[in-house]
Structure formats: structure tokens, C-alpha cells
Amino acid sequence: MILLVDLCYRDGSLGFEEFVLPIARIIEGTGAGCRIVHYTRCPGQATRDCDGIILCGTPVMDNGFLGDLASFSWIPETSLPVLGICAGMEVLALLAGGRVISCPEIGMTEIRVTAQDPIFPENRAFEAYELHGYACTLPPGYHTLAGSDRCIQVFRDPVRPVYGVMFHPEVRNEWVVGRFLSAFCR
């Protein structure tokens, strides 16, 4: 069971259809189940019986979660693998001492893998879809795994399987979610 955390401005918003449900379909396509919880509804308590956590992205101007980091205070304490997608990467960066900086980007971007990892095993480039108003600085001690001309695209906690990706893998790069699940959540 994978816990999907909806970061959109309100539970049941239109962004849910675009940013949460596609990730749920990817998870279900791997044979795993998922539980979806809005970030304001105590998702830390919903981790029972879960094998991993995915913090979903949001529409480009939907950033209310940035003013409510207390709702994510449970994440540094969890022993579960975590994948933060776009807005989710921003949350992970802030919780770990990084910063969120202005960096608007919409459309396809070349991502260059710079460090091998279970999710990104080859140093190669691939195209990915970007839709964000912000990017992240690297939290202290974290490792950059991939980047683009504009920003860090993938980082990882140095000890735990906690990943942030700035691009949207639900658009043309579903393999990222699949590799995260197979490497850490089974």
C-alpha cells in the first residue's frame, strides 16, 4: 500500500484529477494499492500498513502548502521511503533545510542524470515535462542525482530513500514511479 498525499489547495480540487489520480493509476498498474489523503487531514496517521509515501504535485500557482509546513512535520520521522514530485520536492527541501526559489518553467526539458542510483541507474539524458513556479536548493547533506539547465531536477537524502523530483513523471516518465516502488516499496 502506497500513501499518496494530495498537496493541492483544497481536498477534491481540480488539481486532484491532474496531479494525484495519474500517480494512483501508475501505482495500481504495478499491482500495488494506494491510499489518498489530503495534506491537511493528518496523513502521518494514515501511514499504517503503507510501504511508501508519494507527495504529489500541484497546479503551477497552487502553493498554499508552503505556508503550512507543520502539516508535514511527520515526514522527517517516518522510516518509509518517500518520493516528492514537484511540490512534494519543495516540501522535502524545506523540511531538510533547503530553500524554495523562483524558477518558472513549463514544457519539455532535457534532464541529465549525474549520479547513478537505484531509480536512475544510468548516467544519461531524457526528456521530462516541467510545470512549476519554483525550484529548490540542495538541502545540506543531500545528493543531486539529475539536473537541467535551470535547476536541480532530482535529489536524494544521503541515508534514507527520500527522493525529490522537480519534473512530473506522470507525464511520459512513469518508469520513475515504477522504479521507486520496485526498489523501495515491496
Average pLDDT for residues 10-30, to the nearest whole number? 93
Q: Mean pLDDT over all residues of the chain?
A: 95
Residue 171: which CATH number?
A: 3.40.50.880
How is residue 145 written as a grid cell?
542525482
pTM of the model: 0.96
Cβ pair 75, 7 in contact under 8 A? no
Tell me the pLDDT tens digit for each residue of 81-90: 999 999 999 9
- Does 40 have pLDDT greater than 80? yes
What pLDDT score does 42 carry? 80
Average pLDDT for residues 77-103, to the nearest whole number? 97
Average pLDDT for residues 91-115, to the nearest whole number? 97
The model's confidence at residue 177, banded by pLDDT at 50, 70 and 90, is very high
Give the count of beta carbons closer than 10 Å to the beta carbon of residue 164: 29
What pLDDT score does 11 carry? 83
Q: How far apart are CA 167 and CA 130, in angstroms?
A: 5
173 has which bridge partners? none
The model's confidence at residue 111, banded by pLDDT at 50, 70 and 90, is very high
- Cα–Cα–Cα angle for 16, 133, 130, nearest 5°? 70
The model's confidence at residue 48, banded by pLDDT at 50, 70 and 90, is confident
More confident residue, 13 or 141: 141
Average pLDDT for residues 100-105, to the nearest whole number? 96
Q: How far apart are CA 115 and CA 124, in angstroms?
A: 10
Number of domains comprising the chain: 1
Q: Enumerate the active-site residues.
A: 86, 168, 170
With a pLDDT cut of 90, the percent of the chain lying above it is 88
The model's confidence at residue 61, banded by pLDDT at 50, 70 and 90, is confident
- Does 143 have pLDDT greater than 80? yes
Q: How far apart are CA 63 and CA 123, in angstroms?
A: 32
Which domain does 71 fall in, by range? Answer: 2-184
Q: How far apart are CA 29 and CA 163, in angstroms?
A: 21
